[in-house]
A and B are shown apart, each in its own frame.
Chain A
Amino acid sequence: MGAKTALYQEHLNLGAKIVDFAGWDMPLHYGSQVEEHYKVRGEAGMFDVSHMTFVDLKGERAREFLRYLLANNVDRLKSPGRALYTCMLNEKGGVVDDLIVYYFDETYYRMVVNAGTHDKDMAWIEGHAAAFDVSVTELTEVALLAVQGPDARSKVHDLLSEKQREKAEGLAPFNAVESEGFFISRTGYTGEDGYEVMVPADQAVDFWRRLHKIGVHPVGLGARDTLRLEAGMDLYSAEMDEETSPLEAGLKWTVAWEPQDRNFIGREALEPQYNATPARKLVGLILDDRGVLRAHQRVIVDGEVVGEVTSGSFSPTLGKAIAFARVPHDVSGKVLVEMRGKQLPARVVKPPFVRHGKACFE
């Protein structure tokens, strides 16, 4: 028996297949994860992501603290509600976690970090916050619903109060607004437009049911994974971990190197690789043959194992298998991937694979 979100009973009522995810009992799918995938690409789907960790950071030196804690630079956040994707590194330049940080004002930020890394993240954040006299408060009485897909925003708008709706409609991507108890963020993990809406836990069931009533389809973690993979988004513990530098995980764009005098955890360790070419890189793979790419399959070039698949699955949109793989920096063109005793050719491409419902890889 794992931890349960405020929506657990709703998942059961909808016939969800429940699986353990980082100690939480979460819905894998509600019948067909491929159907759910299509609903998000074509209409609108909703995900319960309340198992994630929400942390509020407050203090006079909050900004200074986050400039030090995070590899991306919170100085980029200038207007209230602005969001930033970033890694949190250890001293070796490995990734402790990836997260989204929101800016409210110079003394108040919010972070959303992964469920699977909850304990070590809290210890890491609290351990470093003390020196800056920043308070770290986990939000536990909230639920987070991701509503994603081409129709997602208008569906959510239909359920908001006039005041909330006005604020939401004005949101640019990667911006959020708090209104009448709802924290509405134009972010997501699917490659589609939409919102992540944080609501008080005791309002979660009502909001979920109202969304369902107006035709927003429940979507489980299974489709969440294929959607993010098609969208070319990394998953912590698959594409990166404490032993992997963000530069070898396709995340160089999230490391703010300038200004040179900003000292953040991991900077010194990354310095030698930042201006050189890292030994390994993260690439996309497409399998044109029948078969499914899966994590840990070996990648072979000229008869030698050179790397492995970090995440792989069947892409419902493309009708074939896609994957991320970590390989030496000079690998391109075609590789072989070993699966079930066979070696099948795969094309090396630059992710993402799908944007707004269509193939888009190079």
Chain B
Amino acid sequence: MEKTDLLFAHELFMRLSANIETVIKGQKENIRYILAGFAGGGHILLEDNPGTGKTTLAKALAKSMDARFKRIQFTPDLLPSDILGVSIFDPAKKEFKLHKGPVFTHILLADEINRASPRTQSALLEAMAEGQVSIDGNLLNLEDLFFVIATQNPIESRGTYPLPEAQMDRFAMQLELGYVTRETEALILSEQSLAHPIHSVLPCVSLEEGLKLRRLVGEVFVSKELKEYIVALVTATREKPGVLLGASPRASIALMKTAQALALFDKTDFVGPDHIQEIAVRVMAHRLILDPRLKFSGVSARTLVEEILTSIPVPV
């Protein structure tokens, strides 16, 4: 990889990061991960309590890119055709005409995704995994750059359905924003006194630049030992007692790609063990299904993955 490419990627990351930070305060780390997810070609799921800035963050990212952006507000009565599109009979031409749904876009914000029934959510499975949808038996390709950023409240909240495991697996990572510090929150208040800063966000990255970033991520070198380390981490989740469903090979791929993106953001053309450890919990935890008994004994998927991280020797 050329030095200029490294510099370009780093600069692009800084630009995007700064642009989003004008809207979202105190989430520098999560912005880095979101961008890593985006650059690695994965989709992102933001899960947190209401009012922590999930939608704002997602919108800020979408607006920062000069790309088509659609939003679906997931409601309990949403239907699969509301996402994918539907064929409608045109009486004038006497034929069916396909009205494409919001899924035909570059960036798709699936807001409150777990408020729709699993039936509706499953409409997204094919689109997220393969970048294509089948409508009325026709195969339609989505855009080259197709990126889903979804938000949801924890499943304990009222009016939510748990996402199907297959859907969860299609998200490269799940992020939790958490509450910001008191000072930051005070800053947010003062900034929003006149108008919401989201309205003043302007695109700073073109579609081509976004695609180039994704291409560069693939060129980041991953040594054989670190690939083995990734596989060791992922397979450990399958062998851990009390885990009903471990992380999939798709998790291994996502872990490698996001680590590659992080390496690129750090201006290196190779992945280091730190990059993998940094992102491991966020990439793997949401895919695990734990035995209820284990859950009641106070173990969460996050702590379980952290435990795995401390139990497997890292190559240095």
Physical interaction between A and B:
no
A residues within 8 Å of B by Cβ? none
